[in-house]
């Protein structure tokens, strides 16, 4: 039977459990087979020629070491008494349970620890490390292109930030030693722009540049893993000292607000306007997004509609306005917009709804800076149709208080809001009432660093830290045991789960078999599936209070 060659172009019906046709269509214009996605994505897990992976010691060979804790600022792991003998000149302490040393020689010897379940990958001559669970990547390199002295490295870094730090908006005063790597002063920079999260550590050493990068972590413990890796690095050309990164760096969140290229009109013209009409002409920004469009209402009046600039929080999430796909704003589409006029006559649309496609898709302005513009009941009235809307409010405690309700609908006690009267807070919650505007507070962040405006006029606030909900909520994971290290009260996981690579058992914890009888850690066999409940500890560990066997392998 051979029907495929003749009839495939008549394919009229495609059923897909998960539709993958788009991928096939998307592959048709690739250049060479070398760059073919499938081939390129079939990565080879190998150690580079320069790298030697030094496996963890057997549990019986361990002496003492750090036990993850949940609350205290993370100290560098202590150096255990028994060093690992290697063929190199480096004297390495015993790795943490479930971790292993990776040693490289380019151009001088250095070594760093990573969880054993993270793999080394080489793609297109580029080596990096990644979890087998996510697409998170860690890059470690002595950058061969640059030579830099250790005396004036901050100013050198400022001049070369585009190439080295992959950013261009740092001022000279912002680049200063805020970390230590193996006894060398270093600079940690975190960039949380739209679609990207990149933590970079730069440490000049031996006339070279050591660069560590954490690219787009998907799980919170992966940031802890990066910290531990950086703080335990060992260099052959430096003092035998541990490193340190800024406290609480992992939970700091950057807020960015892009500038508004317009000014609102004053006087009576500032009234909100509702316009329903047909899109006539769409103008795209250089990056393909709909920057503005012309709208013709039912009376033939023509308006130029522009979209407000966006704000970004939490790294890879757009805070506001909520996204609206370009195809909803195609020429000929009928839309309803609500907005205010600018001094030059355009309408800034804080609310856009395509009409007539039977599917409610809305673009909303959900961020309001109470120091500049309070949410207007007249605008929020449009928000209450459809799904509940999350709003973000920024301001001081005194400015925010009138807008915030607890889950019972009561006013928030001022004591709950941290900081002094001038400190900017970010509060998030579901819109509960329109007039006066009220939200049910569910997330609260306090400004921890400074705000500045960069060369592109983007306001960047580094950093906010979460106040609500708690930083370390209780988590429950299901994982497979690779081994148990009784001396360390630690369970090593076969694969990372939600970023966790080990489970550290707290004092007084419960370890139960499937029939709920107590189980000794030593009896936990490799391959056993367990559930564990606890909070995030150090070094990718779940600090567990309760562990139960689900099934034996």
Binding to other proteins, residues 11-70 (CB under 8 A): 11-23, 26, 29-32, 34-43
* Window contacting other proteins (CB under 8 A); options: 5-13, 389-397, 418-426, 517-525: 5-13
Window 178-197: residues binding other proteins (CB under 8 A):
191, 193-197
* Rg from Cα positions in the chain: 27
Interface of this chain with other proteins, residues 352 to 381, rule: CB under 8 A: none
CB of 443 to other proteins, least distance (A): 17
User: Exposed, middle or buried by CB within 10 Å (0-12, 13-18, 19+), for 121?
Assistant: middle
Tokens matching residue 448: 């921890």
Kindly tell me which of 151 and 455 has the beta carbon lying closer to other proteins: 455
Instruction: Find the part of the chain contacting other proteins (CB under 8 A) among 79-87, 233-241, 281-289, 351-359.
Output: 281-289
Alpha-helical runs (H) found in 386-430: 397-400
Looking only at residues 68 through 127 of this chain, which bind other proteins when binding is defined by CB under 8 A? 123-126
- Any idea what DSSP says for residue 518? B
- Report how many residues bind other proteins under the rule CB under 8 A: 86
Q: How far is the CB of 15 from other proteins (least distance, A)?
A: 5
Find residue 497's DSSP bridge partners. Answer: 500
What is the closest distance, in whole angstroms, from the C-beta atom of residue 497 to other proteins in the complex? 10
Instruction: Please say whether the beta carbons of 479 and 528 come within 8 A.
Output: no
- In this structure, the dihedral spanned by the alpha carbons of residues 451, 455, 457 and 460, taken in order and rounded to 10 degrees, is -30
- Please tell me the distance from the alpha carbon of residue 410 to that of residue 379, in angstroms, as a whole number: 24
Contact 476, 531 (CB under 8 A): yes
Categorise residue 457: left if φ over 0, alpha if ψ from -120 to 50, beta otherwise. left
Assess whether the previous peptide bond of 69 is cis (omega < 30° from 0).
no
Residue 231 interacts with other proteins (CB under 8 A): yes or no: no
Kindly tell me which residue out of 54, 198, 225, 364 binds other proteins, with binding defined by CB under 8 A.
198
Residues in 124-183 that interact with other proteins by CB under 8 A: 124-126, 130, 133-137, 139, 143, 145, 162-163, 166-169
213 binds other proteins (CB under 8 A): yes
Which 468-527 positions form the footprint of other proteins (CB under 8 A)? 495
Structural tokens at position 329: 């704003």
> Site mask, other proteins, residues 284-303, x = CB under 8 A?
xxxxxxx-------------
Cis ω before 321 (30° cut-off from 0): yes
Distances (CA, A) of 214 to 125, 198, 250, 417, 473: 18, 6, 11, 32, 24
Give the CB-side neighbour count of residue 170, counting CA atoms within 13 A: 25
Nearest Cα neighbor of 130 from 119, 139, 122 is 119
Nearer to other proteins, 94 or 133 (CB): 133
- For other proteins, which residue of 187, 310, 351, 403 counts as binding (CB under 8 A)? 310
Looking only at residues 411 through 450 of this chain, which bind other proteins when binding is defined by CB under 8 A? none
Which of 86, 318, 396, 533 touches other proteins (CB under 8 A)? Answer: 318
331 lies in the site for other proteins, by CB under 8 A: no
How far apart are CB 254 and other proteins at their closest, in Å? 12
């Amino acid at each position: 039977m051979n029907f495929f060659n003749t009839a495939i172009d008549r394919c009229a019906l495609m059923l897909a459990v998960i539709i993958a046709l788009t991928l096939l269509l998307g592959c048709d214009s690739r250049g060479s087979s070398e760059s073919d996605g499938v081939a390129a994505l079939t990565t080879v897990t190998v150690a580079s020629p320069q790298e030697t992976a030094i496996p963890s010691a057997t549990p019986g060979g361990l002496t003492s070491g750090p036990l993850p804790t949940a609350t205290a600022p993370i100290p560098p792991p202590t150096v255990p008494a028994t060093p690992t003998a290697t063929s190199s000149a480096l004297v390495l302490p015993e790795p943490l349970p479930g971790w292993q040393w990776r040693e490289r020689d380019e151009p001088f010897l250095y070594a760093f620890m990573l969880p054993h379940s993270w793999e080394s990958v080489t793609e297109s001559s580029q080596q990096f490390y990644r979890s087998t669970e996510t697409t998170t990547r860690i890059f470690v390199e002595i950058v061969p292109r640059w030579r830099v002295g250790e005396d004036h490295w901050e100013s050198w870094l400022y001049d070369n930030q585009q190439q080295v730090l992959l950013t261009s908006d740092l001022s000279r005063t912002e680049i200063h030693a805020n970390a230590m790597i193996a006894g060398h002063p270093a600079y940690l920079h975190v960039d949380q722009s739209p679609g990207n999260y990149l933590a970079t550590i730069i440490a000049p050493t031996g006339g070279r540049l050591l660069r560590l990068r954490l690219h787009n972590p998907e799980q919170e413990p992966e940031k802890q893993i990066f910290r531990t890796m950086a703080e335990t690095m060992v260099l052959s050309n430096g003092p035998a000292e541990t490193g340190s990164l800024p406290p609480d760096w992992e939970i700091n969140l950057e807020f960015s607000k892009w500038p508004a290229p317009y000014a609102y009109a004053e006087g009576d013209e500032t009234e909100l306007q509702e316009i329903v009409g047909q899109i006539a002409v769409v103008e795209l920004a250089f990056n393909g997004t709909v920057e503005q469009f012309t709208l013709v209402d039912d009376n033939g009046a023509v308006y130029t509609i522009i979209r407000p600039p966006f704000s970004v929080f939490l790294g890879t999430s757009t805070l506001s306005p909520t996204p609206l796909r370009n195809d909803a704003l195609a020429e000929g589409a009928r839309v309803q917009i609500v907005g205010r006029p600018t001094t030059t006559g355009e309408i800034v649309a804080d609310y856009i709804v395509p009409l007539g496609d039977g599917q409610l898709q809305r673009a909303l302005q959900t961020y309001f800076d109470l120091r500049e513009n309070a949410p207007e009941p007249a605008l929020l009235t449009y928000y209450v149709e459809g799904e509940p809307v999350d709003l973000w409010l920024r301001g001081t405690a005194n400015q925010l208080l009138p807008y915030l309700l607890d889950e019972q609908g009561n006013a928030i006690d001022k004591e709950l809001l941290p900081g002094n009267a001038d400190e900017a807070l970010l509060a998030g919650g579901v819109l509960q009432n329109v007039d006066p505007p009220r939200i049910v507070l569910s997330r609260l962040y306090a400004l921890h660093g400074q705000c500045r405006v960069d060369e592109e006029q983007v306001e960047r606030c580094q950093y906010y830290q979460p106040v609500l909900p708690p930083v370390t909520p209780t988590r429950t994971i299901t994982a497979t045991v690779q081994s148990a290290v009784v001396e360390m009260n630690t369970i090593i996981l076969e694969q990372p789960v939600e970023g966790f690579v080990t489970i550290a058992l707290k004092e007084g914890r419960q370890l139960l078999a499937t029939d709920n009888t107590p189980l000794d850690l030593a009896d936990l066999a490799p391959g056993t599936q367990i559930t564990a409940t606890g909070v995030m500890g150090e070094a990718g560990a779940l600090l567990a209070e309760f562990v139960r066997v689900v099934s034996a392998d």
